[in-house]
C-alpha cells in the first residue's frame, strides 16, 4: 500500500508540474494597431446580455481601441504605452526631458528600498532611451512618430525592460508609502506583497499596483488615468474608475490628457476617444480632417456622409447641395441649443434585441462631429466656413434646383446669401409654386411649434 501511495503522489506531483508549467498560447502583437471600437461590440454580439448592453454603448463614446497581447503583462504594457503616447500627443520635446529628470529623481526611492543601482539602471536606460528617441521624433509627422513608438513597444526586450522599470518604481512607491497601501493589503506584509504581486516578471497588475503606478508615473506627469471595467455586474453602463492628477496647488488639473484603458476580467486594452486621436496643435484644419478621414473612417460606411457632417468640409462632389449641408450646422452655430440637444443618439438603444448593432453605427457620425466642433480649434462663425465660392455656385445650380431647395430658416432667408435676396450677386426672384409653398409653410409651422 505504501509504495502505491508513493507512485500516486509522484504522479500527482508530475501532473501538478505539468499544470504549473502550462502556458496558454498567446498570439497577436504586443501592442496592436488602433482600430474602430465597434469591433468590441461585434465581438460581444453573441455574448451575455449584460455584455451586449454595455458594449453597445461603447463605440459612441470611445471611437477607437488598441489591443494588447494577453501575455500577463498587458495592464503594465497598456499604461506604459499610453504614457509614452500621451507625451507624444502633447508634442512638446521639453516634456520628455522633464519626465526623464523626474524619473531619475525617483531613483532615490529605489535605492532606499534596497534595489541595487547596477541592476535597475539597465532597465531605466532603456526607458530613457525611448523617451529621447520619441522626443526626437516629435517634429516629424504624427503618423511616423506614432508608428515608430508602436514598433519600439513591439520589441519584446525593450517593452519588458520598461515594464520592469515601472514595476520597480511602483514597488518602491508602495513600500515608501506603506501607510497609504497597507489598509488594502489586509494582513499581508508589504514587502512580501511587492515581492510576489508587483516585482515578478510574470505578474499582472492588480488594483493596488495600478493605484501606485498612477501615483508614481501617471499623475505627476499631469495625466489622468481612466479605467473602464467591463464585467458582468448589473447595469447598463460600463463602470469607470478615474485617477485624476493634482496640480502643484493641490487642485485637480482641468482637462488633463487622458490615458484610457478597457479592463475585461484578466485583460487590459487601450481605448481612445475621438478627441484623443487628433493632434491638439494648431495644424491647418484641413490637414487634420483629411488625415482623419483617410485613416479612421470605419470601413463599410460611405465617406461622403461623414464628410458632410464635418463643419467646413464640402468636398467637390457635394458642391451642388452645399447650402443644405450648411443648414445642418446652423443649429450649432446660432443659439438654438434645443436643436443640438436632440440628436438621434440620445436614446442610446440599450435594448437587448439583436438589431442593436444597426442602432449603434449611426450614432458614431452624429456623435463625432459634435465632439469635434467643440474641441477643434476652429470655432464656427456665421458666414466663416460657409462662404460661398465660385465652385459651389455654378450657374446650373440655380436654374435647376433653387426652387426645390428647402430654405428653412428665417435667418438664411433674410440674408444676402439667399439668391432671392436683392443684395445677392446672383439675384433670382422667388417664383411662386403651389408645391413649394405647401412644403415651406408646413416646415415653418413645425419650426415655430418646436421653438
Partner 1 sequence: MSSSSRAQSPAKRLQSELKTYQSEPNDALVELGPVGDSELTHWTAVMKGVPGTAYEGGRWKLDIRIPPTYPNAPPDIKFVTRICHPNVNFKTGEICLDLLKTTWTPIYTLSTTLTAIHQLLTSAEPDSPLNVDIAQLFRQGDYVGAEALIRFYTETERWEGR
CB 194, min distance to partner 1, A: 10
Q: At what angle do helices 142-153 and 74-90 cross, to 10 degrees?
A: 160
Residue 124 and residue 100 in contact, taking contact as beta carbons nearer than 8 Å: no
300: part of which helix (H) or strand (E)? Answer: none
CB of 104 to partner 1, least distance (A): 18
Q: How far is the CB of 87 from partner 1 (least distance, A)?
A: 20
Among 387, 71, 78, 37, residue whose Cα is nearest residue 238: 37
The answer to whether 40 touches 58, Cβ cutoff 8 Å, is yes
- The single-letter DSSP state of residue 37 is T
Write b or e for each residue in 177-205: b if 16 or more Cβ atoms lie within 10 A of its Cβ, otherwise e: eeeebeeebeeeebeebbeebbbeeebbb
d(CA 80, CA 94): 19
Shortest distance (Å) from residue 388 CB to partner 1: 51
C-alpha–C-alpha distance, residues 176 and 111, integer Å: 11
**End-to-end Cα distance, the chain:** 92
Q: Strand pairing partners for 228?
A: 240, 262
Q: Residue 26 or residue 47: which is nearer to partner 1 going by CB?
A: 26
Plot region of 262 (φ>0 → left; ψ -120 to 50 → alpha; else → beta): beta
CB of 149 to partner 1, least distance (A): 12
Q: In the complex with partner 1, which residue's Cβ is closer, 161 or 214?
A: 161
Contact 406, 443 (CB under 8 A): yes
Task: Give yes or no for a contact between 327 and 417, defined as CB atoms under 8 angstroms apart.
Answer: no
The smaller minimum CB distance to partner 1, of residues 185 and 357, is found at 185
Of residues 13 and 287, the one with the C-beta less far from partner 1: 13
Provide the minimum distance between the beta carbon of 111 and partner 1 in the complex, in angstroms, as a whole number: 12
Residue with cell 529605489: 110
Residue-wise burial string across 9-38, b where 16 or more C-beta atoms lie within 10 A, e elsewhere? eeeeeeeeeeeeeeeeeeeeebbbebbbbb
Write down the least CB distance from residue 181 to partner 1, Å: 19
The nearer residue to partner 1, 167 or 359, going by C-beta atoms, is 167
CB of 93 to partner 1, least distance (A): 21
Our CB check for partner 1 shows the closer of 195 and 303 to be 195
The residue among 48 and 189 lying less far from partner 1, judged by its C-beta, is 189
DSSP state of 285: H
- The C-alpha atoms of residue 152 and residue 129 are separated, in whole angstroms, by 11
Give min distance, CB of 118 to partner 1, in A.
6
Cβ neighbours of residue 408 under 8 Å, at least 6 residues apart? 327, 443, 444, 447
Q: Which lies closer to partner 1 via its Cβ, residue 121 or residue 226?
A: 121
**CB of residue 363 to partner 1, shortest distance in Å:** 40
* Closest to partner 1 by CB, 144 or 441: 144
- Nearer Cβ to partner 1 (196/401): 196
Binding stretches for partner 1 (CB under 8 A): 6, 9-10, 13, 16, 20, 115-116, 118-120, 122-123, 151-152, 155-158, 160-161, 164, 167-168, 195-196, 199-203
Amino acid at each position: 500500500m505504501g509504495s502505491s501511495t508513493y507512485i500516486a503522489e509522484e504522479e500527482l506531483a508530475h501532473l501538478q508540474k505539468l499544470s504549473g508549467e502550462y502556458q496558454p498560447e498567446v498570439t497577436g502583437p504586443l501592442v496592436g494597431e488602433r482600430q474602430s471600437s465597434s469591433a468590441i461590440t461585434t465581438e460581444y454580439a453573441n455574448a451575455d446580455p449584460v455584455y451586449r448592453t454595455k458594449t453597445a454603448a461603447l463605440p459612441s463614446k470611445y471611437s477607437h481601441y488598441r489591443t494588447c497581447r494577453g501575455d500577463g503583462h498587458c495592464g503594465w504594457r497598456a499604461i506604459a504605452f499610453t504614457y509614452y503616447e500621451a507625451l507624444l500627443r502633447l508634442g512638446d520635446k521639453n516634456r520628455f526631458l522633464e519626465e526623464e529628470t523626474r524619473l531619475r529623481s525617483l531613483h532615490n526611492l529605489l535605492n532606499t528600498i534596497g534595489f541595487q543601482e547596477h541592476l535597475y539602471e539597465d532597465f531605466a536606460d532603456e526607458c530613457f532611451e525611448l523617451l529621447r528617441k520619441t522626443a526626437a521624433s516629435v517634429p516629424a509627422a504624427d503618423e511616423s512618430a506614432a508608428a515608430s513608438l508602436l514598433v519600439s513597444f513591439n520589441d519584446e526586450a525593450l517593452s519588458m525592460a520598461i515594464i520592469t522599470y515601472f514595476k520597480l518604481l511602483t514597488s518602491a512607491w508602495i513600500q515608501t508609502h506603506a501607510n497609504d497601501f497597507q489598509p488594502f493589503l489586509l494582513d499581508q506584509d508589504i514587502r512580501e506583497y511587492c515581492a510576489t504581486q508587483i516585482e515578478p516578471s510574470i505578474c499582472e497588475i492588480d488594483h493596488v499596483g495600478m493605484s501606485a503606478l498612477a501615483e508614481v508615473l501617471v499623475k505627476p506627469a499631469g495625466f489622468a488615468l481612466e479605467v473602464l471595467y467591463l464585467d458582468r455586474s448589473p447595469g447598463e453602463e460600463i463602470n469607470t474608475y478615474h485617477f485624476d492628477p493634482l496640480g502643484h496647488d493641490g487642485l485637480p488639473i482641468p482637462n488633463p490628457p487622458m490615458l484610457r484603458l478597457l479592463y475585461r476580467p484578466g485583460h487590459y486594452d487601450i481605448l481612445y476617444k475621438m478627441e484623443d486621436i487628433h493632434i491638439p496643435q494648431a495644424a491647418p484644419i484641413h490637414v487634420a480632417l483629411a488625415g482623419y478621414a483617410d485613416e479612421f473612417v470605419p470601413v463599410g460606411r460611405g465617406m461622403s456622409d461623414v464628410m458632410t457632417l464635418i463643419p467646413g468640409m464640402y468636398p467637390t462632389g457635394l458642391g451642388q447641395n452645399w447650402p443644405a449641408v450648411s443648414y445642418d450646422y446652423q443649429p450649432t452655430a446660432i443659439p438654438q441649443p434645443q436643436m443640438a440637444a436632440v440628436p438621434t443618439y440620445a436614446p442610446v438603444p440599450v435594448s437587448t434585441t439583436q438589431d442593436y448593432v444597426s442602432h449603434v453605427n449611426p450614432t458614431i457620425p452624429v456623435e463625432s462631429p459634435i465632439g469635434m466642433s467643440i474641441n477643434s480649434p476652429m470655432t464656427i462663425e456665421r458666414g466663416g466656413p460657409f462662404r460661398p465660392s465660385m465652385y459651389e455656385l455654378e450657374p446650373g445650380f440655380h436654374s435647376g434646383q433653387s426652387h426645390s431647395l428647402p430654405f428653412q430658416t428665417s435667418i438664411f432667408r433674410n440674408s444676402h446669401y439667399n439668391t432671392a435676396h436683392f443684395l445677392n450677386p446672383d439675384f433670382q426672384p422667388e417664383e411662386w409654386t403651389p408645391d413649394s409653398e405647401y412644403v415651406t409653410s408646413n416646415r415653418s409651422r413645425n419650426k415655430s411649434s418646436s421653438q
